[in-house]
Amino acid sequence: MSDENVRTIDLTRIERARYRVTNPRGGFLEIGEGDDTNFTPVELLLAAIAGCTAIDVDYLTTKRSEPQRFDIVVSGVKKVADDGNRLEDIVVGFDVTFPDDEAGRQAADRLEVAIDRSHDRLCTVSRTVELGTPVQAGLRS
C-alpha cells in the first residue's frame, strides 16, 4: 500500500473525556462524551457517513444542476450488549431538491442512482462500517 492511500489523524487529551483531533492538513476539532456542545465519537461516525455520501452524491448530481436543498439526516440506535456496544439500524435519509427546469429534472432523475452508487461502492466510510473492517488497538511501538 502506498503512503498516498494511508489516512491518519492524531488525538491529544485536553482534559478528562475531552480530546483534540488533528488531521495532517492542520484541521482540528474537539470531541467529548456529550456533556457539552462538542461532538461525541458516535456522532462523528454518523457525521462521517453523512459527509462521505454527501460528497459522492453531490459530485454525481451537480454535474447537471445545483440543488436548491441538500440535507441529510443519519441516525442509529446504540445497543449495549454482552458482546460489545455498537450502533444498529443506521439510516441515511436524503432531502434533496433541484430547480424545476430541464437540468434540475436531469439531476433529480440521477439522485437515486447516485445515492445507490455511494452506498454500494463509493463511500469509504459506510462501506467500511458495512463490511466490518477489523480494528487493531494497542500500544504504539
What's the pLDDT band for 3 if we cut at 50, 70, 90?
A: confident
Instruction: Give the three cell numbers for residue 93.
Output: 435519509
How many whole angstroms separate alpha carbon 141 and alpha carbon 139?
6
At residue 11, does pLDDT exceed 70?
yes
List domains and CATH numbers for the chain: 1-39 (no CATH), 40-131 (3.30.300.20)
Residue 73 burial by CB count (10 A; 0-12/13-18/19+): exposed, middle or buried? exposed
pLDDT band at 76 (very low <50, low <70, confident <90, very high): very high
Identify the burial level of 135 via C-beta atoms within 10 angstroms of its C-beta, where 0-12 means exposed, 13-18 middle and 19 or more buried. exposed
DSSP for 109-138 reads: HHHHHHHHHIIIII-HHHHHHHHT------
